Protein backbone atom coordinates (compact mmCIF):
# COMPACT_ATOMS: atom_id res chain seq x y z
CA UNK A 1 0.00 0.00 0.00
CA UNK A 2 1.06 3.58 -0.62
CA UNK A 3 -0.13 6.79 1.01
CA UNK A 4 0.07 10.23 -0.63
CA UNK A 5 0.73 13.08 1.79
CA UNK A 6 0.26 16.66 0.59
CA UNK A 7 2.87 18.55 2.58
CA UNK A 8 6.38 17.46 3.48
CA UNK A 9 6.93 19.28 6.78
CA UNK A 10 7.26 17.72 10.22
CA UNK A 11 3.66 16.49 10.34
CA UNK A 12 3.99 14.80 6.98
CA UNK A 13 7.32 13.38 8.14
CA UNK A 14 5.81 11.87 11.29
CA UNK A 15 2.84 10.44 9.37
CA UNK A 16 5.28 8.76 6.96
CA UNK A 17 7.29 7.42 9.92
CA UNK A 18 4.13 5.95 11.45
CA UNK A 19 3.10 4.38 8.14
CA UNK A 20 6.30 2.39 7.62
CA UNK A 21 5.76 -0.25 10.36
CA UNK A 22 2.31 -0.89 8.86
CA UNK A 23 3.91 -1.78 5.55
CA UNK A 24 2.74 1.47 3.97
CA UNK A 25 5.11 3.63 1.94
CA UNK A 26 4.57 7.36 1.50
CA UNK A 27 4.80 9.78 -1.40
CA UNK A 28 4.95 13.38 -0.21
CA UNK A 29 4.15 16.46 -2.29
CA UNK A 30 5.87 19.70 -1.29
CA UNK A 31 7.15 22.77 -3.17
CA UNK A 32 10.41 22.76 -1.15
CA UNK A 33 13.09 20.34 -2.36
CA UNK A 34 14.67 19.93 1.09
CA UNK A 35 11.38 19.52 3.01
CA UNK A 36 12.13 17.55 6.17
CA UNK A 37 9.73 14.75 5.19
CA UNK A 38 12.17 13.62 2.49
CA UNK A 39 13.98 11.50 5.10
CA UNK A 40 10.93 9.28 5.56
CA UNK A 41 9.38 8.89 2.12
CA UNK A 42 9.64 9.70 -1.56
CA UNK A 43 9.28 13.41 -2.30
CA UNK A 44 7.57 14.96 -5.32
CA UNK A 45 8.59 18.62 -5.60
CA UNK A 46 5.75 20.77 -6.93
CA UNK A 47 3.10 23.26 -5.86
CA UNK A 48 0.24 21.87 -3.77
CA UNK A 49 -2.22 22.60 -6.58
CA UNK A 50 -0.09 21.55 -9.55
CA UNK A 51 -2.50 19.47 -11.72
CA UNK A 52 0.09 17.11 -13.19
CA UNK A 53 1.59 16.35 -9.79
CA UNK A 54 -1.81 15.77 -8.20
CA UNK A 55 -2.66 13.35 -11.00
CA UNK A 56 0.67 11.58 -10.40
CA UNK A 57 -0.20 11.14 -6.72
CA UNK A 58 -3.56 9.64 -7.64
CA UNK A 59 -1.99 7.23 -10.11
CA UNK A 60 0.69 5.97 -7.71
CA UNK A 61 -1.13 5.84 -4.35
CA UNK A 62 -4.06 4.11 -2.66
CA UNK A 63 -5.26 7.10 -0.60
CA UNK A 64 -4.25 10.70 0.08
CA UNK A 65 -4.14 12.97 3.12
CA UNK A 66 -2.59 16.36 3.92
CA UNK A 67 -0.52 17.76 6.76
CA UNK A 68 -2.06 21.22 7.16
CA UNK A 69 -5.17 23.17 6.27
CA UNK A 70 -3.53 25.66 3.89
CA UNK A 71 -3.71 23.09 1.10
CA UNK A 72 -6.26 24.37 -1.48
CA UNK A 73 -9.58 22.49 -1.10
CA UNK A 74 -9.78 22.30 -4.90
CA UNK A 75 -6.63 20.17 -4.88
CA UNK A 76 -8.24 17.70 -2.46
CA UNK A 77 -11.42 17.63 -4.55
CA UNK A 78 -9.40 16.86 -7.68
CA UNK A 79 -7.64 13.96 -5.93
CA UNK A 80 -10.91 12.65 -4.49
CA UNK A 81 -12.20 11.99 -8.01
CA UNK A 82 -9.65 9.19 -8.39
CA UNK A 83 -8.66 7.93 -4.91
CA UNK A 84 -9.94 8.22 -1.32
CA UNK A 85 -8.93 11.67 -0.01
CA UNK A 86 -9.24 12.32 3.73
CA UNK A 87 -10.08 14.48 5.54
CA UNK A 88 -12.54 15.62 2.84
CA UNK A 89 -12.36 18.95 1.05
CA UNK A 90 -15.35 20.12 3.11
CA UNK A 91 -13.26 19.85 6.27
CA UNK A 92 -10.61 22.07 4.72
CA UNK A 93 -13.16 24.62 3.57
CA UNK A 94 -14.61 24.74 7.08
CA UNK A 95 -11.35 24.95 9.03
CA UNK A 96 -9.63 27.41 6.66
CA UNK A 97 -12.28 30.07 7.31
CA UNK A 98 -12.88 30.99 10.94
CA UNK A 99 -16.39 32.28 10.16
CA UNK A 100 -17.41 29.02 8.48
CA UNK A 101 -15.90 27.13 11.39
CA UNK A 102 -17.69 29.11 14.10
CA UNK A 103 -20.96 29.02 12.15
CA UNK A 104 -20.74 25.21 12.09
CA UNK A 105 -20.16 25.13 15.85
CA UNK A 106 -23.17 27.33 16.52
CA UNK A 107 -25.39 25.23 14.22
CA UNK A 108 -24.48 22.21 16.38
CA UNK A 109 -25.20 24.11 19.65
CA UNK A 110 -21.52 24.18 20.60
CA UNK A 111 -20.76 27.28 22.66
CA UNK A 112 -18.52 29.98 21.11
CA UNK A 113 -17.46 33.51 22.00
CA UNK A 114 -19.62 36.41 20.79
CA UNK A 115 -18.82 37.02 17.11
CA UNK A 116 -18.92 39.78 14.50
CA UNK A 117 -17.86 39.84 10.84
CA UNK A 118 -15.44 42.60 9.80
CA UNK A 119 -15.01 43.59 6.16
CA UNK A 120 -13.70 47.16 6.56
CA UNK A 121 -12.81 49.73 9.20
CA UNK A 122 -16.44 50.83 9.60
CA UNK A 123 -17.69 47.29 10.31
CA UNK A 124 -14.81 46.87 12.78
CA UNK A 125 -16.17 49.83 14.76
CA UNK A 126 -19.67 48.34 14.60
CA UNK A 127 -18.35 44.92 15.62
CA UNK A 128 -16.59 46.29 18.68
CA UNK A 129 -19.84 47.98 19.72
CA UNK A 130 -21.52 44.55 19.59
CA UNK A 131 -18.76 42.43 21.11
CA UNK A 132 -17.21 44.90 23.57
CA UNK A 133 -13.69 45.20 24.97
CA UNK A 134 -11.48 43.28 25.29
CA UNK A 135 -11.83 41.34 22.05
CA UNK A 136 -9.67 39.54 19.51
CA UNK A 137 -9.57 40.44 15.82
CA UNK A 138 -8.46 37.58 13.54
CA UNK A 139 -8.03 37.05 9.83
CA UNK A 140 -10.69 34.63 8.59
CA UNK A 141 -8.09 32.55 6.74
CA UNK A 142 -4.39 31.61 6.87
CA UNK A 143 -3.73 32.29 10.55
CA UNK A 144 -1.54 30.01 12.68
CA UNK A 145 0.75 30.15 15.75
CA UNK A 146 -0.73 33.47 16.83
CA UNK A 147 -0.25 35.13 13.42
CA UNK A 148 -2.99 37.17 11.76
CA UNK A 149 -4.63 38.40 14.94
CA UNK A 150 -4.62 41.28 17.39
CA UNK A 151 -6.10 41.84 20.85
CA UNK A 152 -8.15 45.04 21.13
CA UNK A 153 -8.41 46.47 24.65
CA UNK A 154 -9.61 50.03 24.02
CA UNK A 155 -10.70 52.38 21.23
CA UNK A 156 -7.06 53.36 20.73
CA UNK A 157 -6.38 49.85 19.38
CA UNK A 158 -9.03 50.18 16.65
CA UNK A 159 -7.46 52.97 14.60
CA UNK A 160 -5.86 51.59 11.44
CA UNK A 161 -6.22 47.99 12.58
CA UNK A 162 -8.13 46.78 9.53
CA UNK A 163 -5.23 47.83 7.29
CA UNK A 164 -2.69 46.54 9.81
CA UNK A 165 -4.08 43.01 9.44
CA UNK A 166 -3.96 43.21 5.66
CA UNK A 167 -7.35 44.73 4.75
CA UNK A 168 -8.75 41.21 4.35
CA UNK A 169 -11.97 39.63 5.68
CA UNK A 170 -11.73 39.41 9.48
CA UNK A 171 -13.60 37.92 12.41
CA UNK A 172 -14.02 39.70 15.73
CA UNK A 173 -14.41 37.51 18.80
CA UNK A 174 -15.35 38.50 22.32
CA UNK A 175 -12.54 37.81 24.78
CA UNK A 176 -13.05 34.56 26.71
CA UNK A 177 -11.97 34.76 30.35
CA UNK A 178 -10.86 31.14 30.59
CA UNK A 179 -9.17 29.01 33.22
CA UNK A 180 -6.93 27.16 30.76
CA UNK A 181 -6.89 25.79 27.21
CA UNK A 182 -7.42 22.18 26.19
CA UNK A 183 -7.55 20.19 22.99
CA UNK A 184 -9.53 17.07 22.22
CA UNK A 185 -7.68 14.80 19.80
CA UNK A 186 -10.30 12.75 17.99
CA UNK A 187 -10.13 10.08 15.31
CA UNK A 188 -12.89 8.95 12.95
CA UNK A 189 -12.55 5.97 10.64
CA UNK A 190 -14.07 5.45 7.22
CA UNK A 191 -16.76 3.29 8.85
CA UNK A 192 -17.76 6.08 11.26
CA UNK A 193 -16.02 4.62 14.33
CA UNK A 194 -14.71 7.35 16.66
CA UNK A 195 -12.01 7.17 19.33
CA UNK A 196 -10.67 9.93 21.55
CA UNK A 197 -7.42 10.64 23.34
CA UNK A 198 -7.47 12.17 26.84
CA UNK A 199 -8.04 15.92 26.95
CA UNK A 200 -4.75 17.81 26.68
CA UNK A 201 -3.92 20.98 28.62
CA UNK A 202 -1.93 23.40 26.45
CA UNK A 203 0.32 26.29 27.38
CA UNK A 204 1.26 28.85 24.71
CA UNK A 205 4.08 31.37 24.72
CA UNK A 206 4.16 34.24 22.22
CA UNK A 207 1.35 32.56 20.30
CA UNK A 208 3.24 29.27 19.85
CA UNK A 209 2.45 26.06 21.69
CA UNK A 210 5.05 25.53 24.42
CA UNK A 211 3.81 22.58 26.46
CA UNK A 212 1.07 19.93 26.30
CA UNK A 213 0.01 17.51 29.03
CA UNK A 214 -2.77 14.90 28.81
CA UNK A 215 -5.34 15.10 31.63
CA UNK A 216 -6.48 11.59 32.47
CA UNK A 217 -10.15 11.14 33.50
CA UNK A 218 -10.94 14.85 33.13
CA UNK A 219 -14.57 15.73 34.07
CA UNK A 220 -15.05 17.56 30.73
CA UNK A 221 -13.77 14.66 28.61
CA UNK A 222 -17.25 13.52 27.61
CA UNK A 223 -18.43 17.06 26.78
CA UNK A 224 -15.43 17.60 24.52
CA UNK A 225 -15.77 14.21 22.83
CA UNK A 226 -19.47 14.80 22.10
CA UNK A 227 -18.72 18.16 20.48
CA UNK A 228 -15.87 16.71 18.43
CA UNK A 229 -17.95 13.76 17.27
CA UNK A 230 -20.83 16.07 16.27
CA UNK A 231 -18.47 18.14 14.11
CA UNK A 232 -16.82 15.10 12.51
CA UNK A 233 -20.16 13.54 11.65
CA UNK A 234 -21.51 16.82 10.26
CA UNK A 235 -18.68 17.06 7.70
CA UNK A 236 -18.19 13.29 7.18
CA UNK A 237 -14.70 13.55 8.59
CA UNK A 238 -12.07 10.79 8.38
CA UNK A 239 -8.73 10.95 10.20
CA UNK A 240 -7.40 12.79 13.25
CA UNK A 241 -9.00 16.12 14.16
CA UNK A 242 -7.91 18.41 16.98
CA UNK A 243 -10.65 20.50 18.63
CA UNK A 244 -9.35 23.33 20.79
CA UNK A 245 -11.46 24.64 23.67
CA UNK A 246 -11.31 27.23 26.43
CA UNK A 247 -12.23 25.84 29.85
CA UNK A 248 -14.55 28.03 31.93
CA UNK A 249 -15.37 26.30 35.20
CA UNK A 250 -17.49 23.26 34.32
CA UNK A 251 -18.08 24.00 30.65
CA UNK A 252 -16.19 24.44 27.39
CA UNK A 253 -16.12 27.29 24.85
CA UNK A 254 -15.08 26.24 21.35
CA UNK A 255 -12.01 27.92 19.90
CA UNK A 256 -11.13 26.14 16.64
CA UNK A 257 -10.57 22.83 14.90
CA UNK A 258 -7.49 21.63 13.06
CA UNK A 259 -8.37 19.04 10.37
CA UNK A 260 -5.15 17.06 10.77
CA UNK A 261 -2.70 15.58 13.22
CA UNK A 262 -1.80 18.28 15.73
CA UNK A 263 1.12 19.63 17.73
CA UNK A 264 -0.77 19.06 21.00
CA UNK A 265 -0.89 15.34 20.19
CA UNK A 266 2.81 14.71 19.67
CA UNK A 267 3.04 13.20 23.16
CA UNK A 268 1.02 10.21 21.87
CA UNK A 269 4.13 8.85 20.10
CA UNK A 270 5.51 7.63 23.43
CA UNK A 271 2.41 8.15 25.57
CA UNK A 272 -0.37 6.11 23.93
CA UNK A 273 -0.88 2.56 22.75
CA UNK A 274 -1.36 3.95 19.22
CA UNK A 275 -0.04 7.41 18.34
CA UNK A 276 -2.13 10.08 16.62
CA UNK A 277 0.04 9.63 13.52
CA UNK A 278 -0.53 5.89 13.27
CA UNK A 279 -4.25 6.32 13.94
CA UNK A 280 -4.48 8.95 11.22
CA UNK A 281 -2.81 6.63 8.73
CA UNK A 282 -5.09 3.77 9.81
CA UNK A 283 -8.21 5.91 9.36
CA UNK A 284 -7.22 7.31 5.96
CA UNK A 285 -6.20 3.88 4.64
CA UNK A 286 -9.44 2.26 5.86
CA UNK A 287 -7.77 0.14 8.56
CA UNK A 288 -9.16 -0.56 12.07
CA UNK A 289 -8.43 2.25 14.54
CA UNK A 290 -5.89 1.69 17.31
CA UNK A 291 -6.25 2.05 21.07
CA UNK A 292 -5.92 5.54 22.56
CA UNK A 293 -5.14 4.12 26.01
CA UNK A 294 -2.77 6.34 27.97
CA UNK A 295 -1.50 4.80 31.18
CA UNK A 296 1.43 6.91 32.44
CA UNK A 297 2.16 10.58 33.11
CA UNK A 298 3.69 12.28 30.08
CA UNK A 299 4.18 15.77 28.67
CA UNK A 300 5.50 17.41 25.51
CA UNK A 301 7.67 20.48 25.05
CA UNK A 302 8.30 22.16 21.71
CA UNK A 303 11.85 23.10 20.72
CA UNK A 304 11.78 26.52 19.07
CA UNK A 305 14.53 28.10 17.03
CA UNK A 306 17.70 26.45 18.34
CA UNK A 307 18.66 22.90 19.26
CA UNK A 308 19.55 22.25 22.90
CA UNK A 309 22.48 20.13 24.05
CA UNK A 310 21.39 16.58 23.17
CA UNK A 311 23.78 15.06 25.73
CA UNK A 312 22.20 17.03 28.58
CA UNK A 313 18.68 16.20 27.37
CA UNK A 314 19.16 12.47 27.00
CA UNK A 315 20.87 12.24 30.39
CA UNK A 316 17.44 12.91 31.94
CA UNK A 317 15.42 9.69 32.41
CA UNK A 318 12.22 9.39 30.40
CA UNK A 319 13.23 11.95 27.76
CA UNK A 320 12.52 11.25 24.09
CA UNK A 321 13.72 13.73 21.45
CA UNK A 322 12.04 13.95 18.04
CA UNK A 323 14.19 16.17 15.81
CA UNK A 324 12.57 17.23 12.53
CA UNK A 325 15.83 17.77 10.68
CA UNK A 326 14.97 21.41 9.97
CA UNK A 327 17.42 24.31 9.89
CA UNK A 328 17.55 26.48 13.00
CA UNK A 329 15.62 29.74 12.73
CA UNK A 330 14.10 32.09 15.29
CA UNK A 331 10.47 31.23 16.04
CA UNK A 332 10.58 27.95 14.09
CA UNK A 333 9.48 24.59 15.49
CA UNK A 334 12.44 22.31 14.87
CA UNK A 335 11.78 19.44 17.31
CA UNK A 336 9.69 18.30 20.23
CA UNK A 337 10.57 16.50 23.44
CA UNK A 338 8.35 13.96 25.17
CA UNK A 339 8.99 13.40 28.89
CA UNK A 340 7.44 10.46 30.72
CA UNK A 341 7.59 9.08 34.28
CA UNK A 342 5.92 6.50 36.50
CA UNK A 343 4.21 9.18 38.63
CA UNK A 344 3.30 12.87 38.51
CA UNK A 345 5.95 13.91 41.03
CA UNK A 346 8.77 12.42 38.96
CA UNK A 347 7.30 13.92 35.79
CA UNK A 348 7.35 17.42 37.27
CA UNK A 349 10.99 17.04 38.30
CA UNK A 350 11.96 15.89 34.80
CA UNK A 351 9.87 18.61 33.17
CA UNK A 352 11.63 21.29 35.23
CA UNK A 353 15.01 19.88 34.24
CA UNK A 354 14.18 19.88 30.53
CA UNK A 355 12.64 23.35 30.64
CA UNK A 356 15.78 24.59 32.35
CA UNK A 357 17.87 23.30 29.47
CA UNK A 358 15.56 24.94 26.92
CA UNK A 359 15.61 28.28 28.74
CA UNK A 360 19.40 28.28 28.88
CA UNK A 361 19.42 27.43 25.18
CA UNK A 362 17.73 30.69 24.15
Q: pLDDT (tens digit, 9 = 90+) per residue, 1-21?
A: 999 999 999 999 999 999 999
Instruction: Tell me: pLDDT of 96 over 90.
Output: no
What pLDDT shows up at residue 149?
85
Give dist(CA 262, CA 317) in Å, integer.
Answer: 25
pLDDT, one tens digit per residue, over 82-94 is 999 999 999 988 9
What pLDDT shows up at residue 146?
55
pLDDT band of 166, cuts 50, 70, 90: confident
pLDDT, one tens digit per residue, over 259-304 is 999 999 999 999 999 999 999 999 999 999 999 999 899 999 999 9
Say how far residue 178 (Cα) sits from the centre of its chain: 20
Nearest Cα to 216, choosing from 201, 230, 202? 201
Q: What CATH architecture applies to the domain 114-174?
A: 2-Layer Sandwich (3.30)
Q: What CATH architecture applies to the domain 2-85?
A: 3-Layer(aba) Sandwich (3.40)
What pLDDT shows up at residue 362?
61
Contact 265, 311 (CB under 8 A): no
Alpha-carbon torsion (306, 337, 27, 79), positive or negative: negative
Cross-sheet strand order for the sheet of 25-30 = 42-45, 25-30, 2-6, 63-66
- CATH superfamily entry for domain 180-361: ATP-grasp fold, B domain (3.30.470.20)
The domain ranges of the chain are 2-85, 114-174, 180-361
362 by DSSP, 3-state: which? coil
What is the mean predicted confidence (pLDDT) over 219-225?
98
What is the mean predicted confidence (pLDDT) over 122-150?
85
What is the mean predicted confidence (pLDDT) over 48-54?
95
pLDDT band of 200, cuts 50, 70, 90: very high
Contact 305, 359 (CB under 8 A): no
Instruction: Tell me: pLDDT of 145 over 80.
Output: no
Amino acid sequence: MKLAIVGGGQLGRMMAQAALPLGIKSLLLDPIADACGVDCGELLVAAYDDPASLDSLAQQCDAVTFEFENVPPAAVSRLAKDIPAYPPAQALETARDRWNEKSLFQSLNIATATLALVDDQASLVQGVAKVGFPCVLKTRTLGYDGKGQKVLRSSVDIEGTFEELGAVPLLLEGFVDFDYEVSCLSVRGRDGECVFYPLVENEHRQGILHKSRPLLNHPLQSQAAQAAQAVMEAIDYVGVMAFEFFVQGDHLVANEIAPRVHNSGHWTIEGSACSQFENHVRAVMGLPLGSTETSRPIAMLNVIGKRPDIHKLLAIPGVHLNDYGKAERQGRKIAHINISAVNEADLLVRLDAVEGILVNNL
